[in-house]
Amino acid sequence: MVDYRVKDVSLAESGKKKIDWAEAHMPVLVSLMRKYEKTRPLAGIKVTGCLHVTKETGVLVRAIKAAGADRISWCGCNPLSTQDDVAASLAANEGIMVYASRGVTAKEYYDDIHSAMKLGPHVTIDDGADLTVEMHKAMSEQQAKKREREIEKERGYNNSGNANPVYGGTEETTTGVIRLKALNKAGKLLYPIIAVNDAETKHDFDNVYGTGQSALDGIIRATNVLLAGKNVVVAGYGHVGKGVARRASGMGANVIVTEVDSIAALKAKMDGYSVMQMVKAAEIGDVFITATGCKDVIVGKDIEKMKDGAILANAGHFNVEISIDALERQGSKKRINDSVEQYKLKSGNRVYLVGEGRLVNLAAAEGHPSEVMDMSFANQLLSVIRLAKSGGTMKPGVYNIDAAQDREIASGKLESMGVSIDSLSPAQQAYLEGFSEGT
Amino acid sequence: MVDYRVKDVSLAESGKKKIDWAEAHMPVLVSLMRKYEKTRPLAGIKVTGCLHVTKETGVLVRAIKAAGADRISWCGCNPLSTQDDVAASLAANEGIMVYASRGVTAKEYYDDIHSAMKLGPHVTIDDGADLTVEMHKAMSEQQAKKREREIEKERGYNNSGNANPVYGGTEETTTGVIRLKALNKAGKLLYPIIAVNDAETKHDFDNVYGTGQSALDGIIRATNVLLAGKNVVVAGYGHVGKGVARRASGMGANVIVTEVDSIAALKAKMDGYSVMQMVKAAEIGDVFITATGCKDVIVGKDIEKMKDGAILANAGHFNVEISIDALERQGSKKRINDSVEQYKLKSGNRVYLVGEGRLVNLAAAEGHPSEVMDMSFANQLLSVIRLAKSGGTMKPGVYNIDAAQDREIASGKLESMGVSIDSLSPAQQAYLEGFSEGT
Amino acid sequence: MVDYRVKDVSLAESGKKKIDWAEAHMPVLVSLMRKYEKTRPLAGIKVTGCLHVTKETGVLVRAIKAAGADRISWCGCNPLSTQDDVAASLAANEGIMVYASRGVTAKEYYDDIHSAMKLGPHVTIDDGADLTVEMHKAMSEQQAKKREREIEKERGYNNSGNANPVYGGTEETTTGVIRLKALNKAGKLLYPIIAVNDAETKHDFDNVYGTGQSALDGIIRATNVLLAGKNVVVAGYGHVGKGVARRASGMGANVIVTEVDSIAALKAKMDGYSVMQMVKAAEIGDVFITATGCKDVIVGKDIEKMKDGAILANAGHFNVEISIDALERQGSKKRINDSVEQYKLKSGNRVYLVGEGRLVNLAAAEGHPSEVMDMSFANQLLSVIRLAKSGGTMKPGVYNIDAAQDREIASGKLESMGVSIDSLSPAQQAYLEGFSEGT
Amino acid sequence: MVDYRVKDVSLAESGKKKIDWAEAHMPVLVSLMRKYEKTRPLAGIKVTGCLHVTKETGVLVRAIKAAGADRISWCGCNPLSTQDDVAASLAANEGIMVYASRGVTAKEYYDDIHSAMKLGPHVTIDDGADLTVEMHKAMSEQQAKKREREIEKERGYNNSGNANPVYGGTEETTTGVIRLKALNKAGKLLYPIIAVNDAETKHDFDNVYGTGQSALDGIIRATNVLLAGKNVVVAGYGHVGKGVARRASGMGANVIVTEVDSIAALKAKMDGYSVMQMVKAAEIGDVFITATGCKDVIVGKDIEKMKDGAILANAGHFNVEISIDALERQGSKKRINDSVEQYKLKSGNRVYLVGEGRLVNLAAAEGHPSEVMDMSFANQLLSVIRLAKSGGTMKPGVYNIDAAQDREIASGKLESMGVSIDSLSPAQQAYLEGFSEGT
């Protein structure tokens, strides 16, 4: 059996059931799996993934394997998001080098990434860019210290000497794409990245519909709070924020949006929400959900104004949006249940933090529903195949996925839902491409 | 320690934490508790409750105890709805004679009711009328067989001889009120019932907002299905059906309503939903939620038309709305997870039943959020006190709660939410009571 | 030709076209018309109506005529709601004694009522109870002054001597029903009133869906204001207020509700709206819509706090909800267009009153869409026939319409919309009427 | 007085009142007007506009004049959209060479464009690209026939010889931008175009919120139909289609979307709407609204399937979306009112066309509310100034507006609405620009 580190491999059967259930809800990815298990375009390719170890990821891994990948290693991309039974099944049933368990420390988290990196992948799959940044650190070191091979060996990373080159990587999140574009802008990106996140069939769907539902799901599972009649403060009105705001409103909440961008703020206002500064919203909010991709969105001066019973949760990638430091400084902490901690403020009020400020849909629920991950992961699979086919010929840079790929995935999804749509006639096509027909 | 039957009394600490959490979200009931623990209007009174053993019920029990009740016995009102840790806490920490565990058989279920009845209550609290009907059976037997005391003793029910009379009972649900009105109409009701369900602050809130959220919560916890883009079929457009339809729509579902009442159907249509017969809806639905209070709402001829992957759940009181028999006749059954069973139909399609067709918000989630139970249970407490004060002077019949009580509870709730409203001036009051001012 | 008073009888053709258009959208009323033109149950009956002279009312008048009514007189029930071309058509094409024009003074308004009353009706149809109250004044006078026939003749009312008795009347509005119940409670009601308003197919539909759409329609026609992003304050959360709030929210407004009833206020809050006192809402509202049925809902202390540009409109029956006096006291008035007046406040801010504070859907738009009036007026026609058949045997009192009539009208409406619904099987019927089947 | 062609110049006073009203609702444009009337950046510049002659356009014209423009000519961009009183006011009160009236023939329409072109503008403002295309025809002719000056003079266009060059133009609509990009792609664009439409503060607002409200407004004014419970078919799910679908749903309609793009179709489905082919939707739709920018969206095979009473309207730029030919071929036509024609189909069913298939918000209502045009026209004014400042140095091509301009306009709008938002701290800014901070 391959090398792995999971919490309890005996959970494999439960994990398999979950992956099977997800597979039954991911028709687009499954149809690609059926197609590529014949042609095996990933034959000879090593793939390392750093992506929430959930049942849907299990299906992606199965698909990569079916497409012929030589070997696959995997690690989590968030300390609280691993489903231990799924990890067990990946190790025991799928033969994946998986290094992940729920509730790791920061050190363990990075150790797992480094363990997965040891595979020396041709292609990386990332979610938040932690793996890619670690890969870059290792590669930079290599370049800097070509002669100091000892250190490198210690670290166990072998993308050197006779190791294969990295053909490229993919990135699943807005946060990761922003980080990698910054890396590229700084001239430090060492291999091409396909921004899967920027596919319309990804960010316009899982960020909006997936997080919209699952972030609230996480909060409800953690607190069983009634959303109807509550003042729900959503920080950030990007794709995730819009999705969360719409669903919170759909559950009967009175939604307040905070923003730093005037255009996004105006859209929120026109969509019927209240818009105000966080420091004002802090006084009236019952539930706070951050979705900005930025840090320090809720800080001490906000927290100290909060009402007794306020609930704080984060739907953004990293646990930097709500200042945990500020909460800790306010006063005593007490665990209410697996997903909720109570902080007693200096004002005497109690506020509740869900999932330690980590992304609430994974920390307190099951992450995005399979139906949306279906499209994201179809994009992932096709992007991995594209990188594999490139054979290392793509230059460093952040690449978009093809519009045609996007449309094909959407078409496959519609078909699986039993929906037929119209198509343009040649005359209509010509009309749209012309300019002569006017009033 | 009192007599009890729970699954595992060592879960008491977890149950206590949950009840504490609920208590923090039930300000109206808590303010009544604070008030009546001084005057103890239930001193000397024995109370038997048959009501879902959840954390909110735990708070109600605490309130009844605080109001001075002599002794309290309790049983579940649904085989799948008991939270075992809460039951443990009621036994261990609150000294309640509690007879309930999750997943009982029908026989165990009725045994528990009979165990609770042994207390010989002055006041009963019921949810679905099972306790009240059993009480009536026992009382009828007594009357019929005054001389055959042996049988009675066997049964263990002692509301006879020198036992206290039953002052009355309360009923929490639409289903129960319908049953008890039928009993009354048949001339067989033996003691007064206060229809707590019919309080506006009850059925207009927990049926609508509570079940609306929690029924979907149960389905999502059980299946993690994405509601956006799904065809969700809601059977019944009463208070519960409206709530479920609104929330499903708020989550992005395309809602289809089925009804037998033309006025309700027309409202559903005007509210923007599709309305059709179940047999038609069966062909296109992705998720089915029954909320009618009637039996055989989804039967064989519907089930055999369903799409592969269809999900069935019930939000009504009894597990009679979806015909389990019809499912069983279709074919093989397989458990997917704790809350979901798969049925393979003769068509080859697979349909999934959530929570064995029992009310999904309790079978697969935590029931109504505390915030709405706050009002229902404030009505319960006040109704129990009213019956206690009556000392047995109220005649058999189904009674409404006072409009003033309703308004007071609503005012208390608004206050707890920090909401101030207007009041009528004397001139406005006079205007509304007059007829002379016209155009 | 019959006696009448309209603005310009040459507009009859335009009015006829409008009535024809309405008739094409009132399938339930038309099917009753087709039925009763054969049996003519109103043969020999005189009917006086006091109801907004709109195209839909035109269809009701045609239906009453088709059902055999001997003679019909009609007047408006609001100084600003008459559509002059419809009035012209009623006079010229339908032979109705119609006394109505848009923009009458209070004196002209009552003169028109008295003119219509001269017919000496067997049955009255009312909307707001102005006609009924005037009838009662005249009847009281008659009783008081049986011998002073001169005065009576002067007034021209002839329901005396050999005149027919009044068999009864109908009432279309919540406001009117409240007034007439007050009259009845005071022991002064002289003939039976059927509360058409209280039919579910009336108040649950035209108050909610009809006014919801048409009140906003009136405001938009008058001001062309964008509702998205506006703070819309809805005073009152009864049927009308709910409808207006839901539609305003559906147009992207941020809705604030004011109420005097705690239960209604709590519902508004749970429905996701902000709830506050009017004096607070006054500071932030962009558009104010009153829908309470009460007077002095927006008064001086509110108005003086309003923002520059605030728009005021009333959706309640009478123009007493917004204090016109308070506006006049604030300062100078200027007409902006046919439907809008600007008031310059002492603060320098300008506020805009739509339709002189009269019900905005009729003053600035066309009233309820035909589709909802279809059901209201089907109820009216059936109620008039019921009163005619009674032959004067019904005692004074406020009567409800039959539940069966309600359901039949709803069924007819569904059928006209192509909607089929389920029906209860005998076994289901028995289940609902029984009490023995429990868990 | 300047040369002009309007329907009735005596309507000027009414038009002025309307423009004043609009001005009171366009705070961003007004603040720019206040700013530029001091610096007069358009001094010496001639501007020709081809844009719906509405009250909001009146404010834009005032602003261009205030910014110092030498002379201004104007024509309508749609045969049915001119408000004749506004045109009169532009001629009489503002001294604009305006050539526009409501209800012109196609020939008159183009004559008006040619009249306006005679000014020989430095800058053109366009809405749908009809003016720009005519300008290009004339300019091409000039180039081709430099020596045949006679013909040119006949046409009256003088952008030649000593005439000024065209510095550039702006374009307001999606349709126009598509046409002009096609022109550019064909290598035939002769001067730079600023795609005002593509500003986020334009197309994300007036296309969505403006058309969403005003298209429904047009249909309601024309038909007074109740939207609640209707099946509303929206063709196209771009910005306009989304806005219309959302508002129709907000009014209680059951929305069906048709699309040719799979991604857009999937979004519509995930947003909870039904999605199907037009030929299927045709059978069940009550109201049809086209919003595609393409031609032949509703054609004969669709129309012949429609239900009796179906209503057809277009919200796209040109009247080509609903095939008028196909309607005419079906059978007899009859005018119902100013905005509605009835077509009797061969099936015997009647369908109703609103506003002759021209954009319904302008043909049957007043176009976008002032509040959204405020931002579009602020972009227009700033773009005209940019072109004026360029002095002809910008090369032909389709230009975007500046992101900074977009954000500034949004900020101004928020300020006018009394909304304050957060801003990024330097540390947050650095975080967003960095890549090193991970998990």
Task: Give the number of domains in chain C.
Answer: 2
Which stretches of chain C drop beneath a pLDDT of 70?
1, 145-164
Average pLDDT score over residue span B360-387: 96
Chains in contact with A, counting 3 or more C-beta pairs less than 8 Å apart as contact: B, C, D
Indicate which CATH number applies to the domain containing C223: 3.40.50.720
In a domain, residue B428? The reply is no
Q: Are C166 and C358 in contact (CB under 8 A)?
A: no
Are residues C99 and C244 both part of a single domain? no
Contact assignment for D252 to C252 by CB distance below 8 Å: no
pLDDT value of position B212: 96
What's the alpha-carbon Rg for chain A, to the nearest Å?
A: 23
- pLDDT given for residue D162 in this prediction: 39
Q: What is the pLDDT of residue D154?
A: 53
Q: Pick from C323, C347, C363: which residue ends a domain?
A: C363
Q: In chain B, which residues have their Cβ closer than 8 Å to the Cβ of D275?
A: none
**D3 domain-assigned:** no
3-state secondary structure of B309: coil
How confident is the model at residue B146, as a pLDDT? 62
Percent of chain D with pLDDT over 70: 95
Side chain identity at residue A85, one-letter code: D
Contacts of C106 in chain B (CB under 8 A): 439
Residues C375 and C351 in one domain: no
| Candidates C17, C209, C226; nearest CB to D369 | C226
CA–CA separation, A235 and A288 (whole Å) = 8
Smallest Cα–Cα separation from B196: which of B411, B415, B409, B416? B409
Give the chain A residue nearest C269 (alpha carbons). Answer: A229
pLDDT value for C61: 98
Greatest Cα-to-Cα distance within chain C, rounded to the nearest angstrom: 75
- Confirm if B339 and B355 have CB atoms less than 8 A apart: yes
From chain B, pick out residues whose CB is under 8 angstroms from the CB of C140.
Answer: none
Any CB–CB contact under 8 A between B209 and chain A?
A: yes
| Residues whose CB falls within 8 Å of the CB of residue D228, separated by 6 or more in sequence, listed in order | B270, B271, B272, C209, C212, C213, D251, D252, D253
Structure tokens at C313: 């409109």
| Residue at B72 is within a domain | yes
Only one residue has tokens 């007026």, namely C377
- Asked whether the beta carbons of residue A226 and residue B417 sit closer than 8 angstroms, the reply is no
Residue of B nearest to D255 (CA): B272
C228 CB neighbours in chain A (<8 A) are 270-272
Q: What pLDDT, on the 0 to 100 scale, is given for residue C49?
A: 98
Q: Which domain holds residue A109?
A: 9-204+368-416
pLDDT higher than threshold 60 for residue A149: no
A/D interface, count of CB pairs below 8 Å: 188
A100 in reach of chain D (CB within 8 A): no
If pLDDT is split at 50, 70 and 90, which confidence band does D155 have? Answer: low
Together in a domain, D45 and D190: yes
Q: Which of A255, A222, A433, A257 is nearest to A340 (CA)?
A: A222
d(CA D381, nearest CA chain A) in Å: 19
Residue B4 lies in a domain: no
Give the span between the Cα atoms of B371 and B206, in whole angstroms.
9
Other Cβ atoms less than 10 A from the Cβ of A219: the count is 30
Residue C392 falls inside a structural domain: yes
Structure tokens at A341: 């901690």
A272 interfaces chain C, CB cutoff of 8 Å: yes
Question: Residue A159: what pLDDT?
Answer: 46
**What sign results for the dihedral spanned by CA atoms C216, C219, C222, C227?**
negative
CB contact burial C139-165 (16+ within 10 A = b; e otherwise): bebbeeeeeeeeebeeeebbbbeeeee
Q: Which residue of chain C comes nearest to D19, CA vs CA?
A: C336
pLDDT at D156 over 70: no
> Does D227 share its domain with D279?
yes
Distance of CA B67 to CAs B61, C308, C418, Å?
Answer: 10, 54, 56
- pLDDT confidence of residue B151: 47
pLDDT at C162 (0 to 100): 39
Q: What is the pLDDT of residues A205-255, one digit of tens each?
A: 999 999 999 999 999 999 999 999 999 999 999 999 999 999 999 999 999
Q: What is the pLDDT of residue C154?
A: 53
d(Cα D271, Cα B251) in Å, to the nearest integer? Answer: 9
Residue A331 lies in a domain: yes
Mean pLDDT, rounded, of chain D: 93
Q: How far is A420 from chain D (nearest CA, A)?
A: 6
Contact between B178 and C204 using a beta-carbon 8 Å cutoff: no
Residue A390 identity (one-letter amino acid): S
Chain D: give the shortest CA distance to residue A13, in Å. Answer: 30
What is the structure's pLDDT at D258?
Answer: 98
Suggest the residue from D81, D207, D263, D279 to mutate for an interface test with chain A (most A CBs closer than 10 A): D263
Polymer length of chain C: 439
> What's the pLDDT tens digit per position in B225-261?
999 999 999 999 999 999 999 999 999 999 999 999 9
Q: C270 at the B interface (CB within 8 A)?
A: yes
Q: Got the DSSP string for D294-334?
A: SS-SB-HHHHTTPPTT-EEEE-SSSTTSB-HHHHHHH--EE
Q: What are phi and psi of B348, to 5 degrees?
A: 95, -15
DSSP letter, residue D357? G
Residues D315 and D402 in one domain: no
Chain centroid to Cα A74, Å, comes to 15
Specify whether B70 is located in the same domain as B112. yes
* pTM of the entire predicted model: 0.92
Statement to judge: residues A73 and A173 lie in one domain: yes
Let me know: does C227 contact D265? Beta carbons within 8 Å.
no
* pLDDT higher than threshold 50 for residue B159: no
CB C128 within 8 A of CB C175: yes
Which of C330, C363, C396 is where one domain is finished? C363
The pLDDT of A120-144, averaged and rounded, is 92
Domain match, C88 and C226 both: no
Strand partners, A170: A125, A194
Assess C7–B contact: CB distance below 8 Å, yes or no: no
Q: Judged by CB atoms within 8 Å, which residues 210-229 of A form the interface with D?
A: none
Which of D229, D255, D272 has its CB closest to that of B228? D272
Tokens 């609920």 sit on residue: B22
Is A252–C273 a contact, with Cβ atoms under 8 angstroms apart? no
- Residue A164 has a pLDDT of 63
Token duo for residue B187: 């001339």
d(CA D209, CA A275): 17
Question: Nearest by CB to C265, which of B406, B419, B439?
Answer: B419
**Is residue D352 a contact partner of residue D313, using CB atoms and an 8 Å limit?**
no
How distant is the Cα of A354 from the closest Cα of chain C, in angstroms? 23
Q: Which of A158, A167, A163 is nearest to A193 (CA)?
A: A167
List, edge to edge, every strand of the sheet that includes D254-258: D274-275, D254-258, D231-235, D287-290, D311-314, D350-354, D340-344, D333-337
Average pLDDT over residues A417-431: 94
| Facing residue for B130 by CB, picked from C270, C420, C438 | C438
Q: Do both A236 and A354 map to the same domain?
A: yes
Whether residue C147 sits in one domain with residue C16: yes
Distance CA B407, CA C376 (A): 31
Clarify whether residues B111 and B42 are in a common domain.
Answer: yes
Q: Does A90 map to a domain?
A: yes
Neighbours of A9 (CB within 10 A): 16
pLDDT of B153 above 70: no
Does A424 map to a domain?
no
Residues C359, C371 share a domain: no
ipTM of the complex: 0.91
Q: State how far Cα B178 lies from the chain centre.
A: 13
Count CA atoms within 13 Å of residue A235 on its CB side. 31
Going from the C-alpha of D325 to that of each of D289, D320, D322, D328, D358, the distances in angstroms are: 18, 10, 9, 5, 14
Average pLDDT over residues D351-361: 96
Question: Which residues from chain A sit within 8 angstroms of residue B413, using beta carbons?
Answer: none
The CATH number of whichever domain residue B74 belongs to comes to 3.40.50.1480
Q: Which helix (H) or strand (E) holds C17?
A: helix C12-23
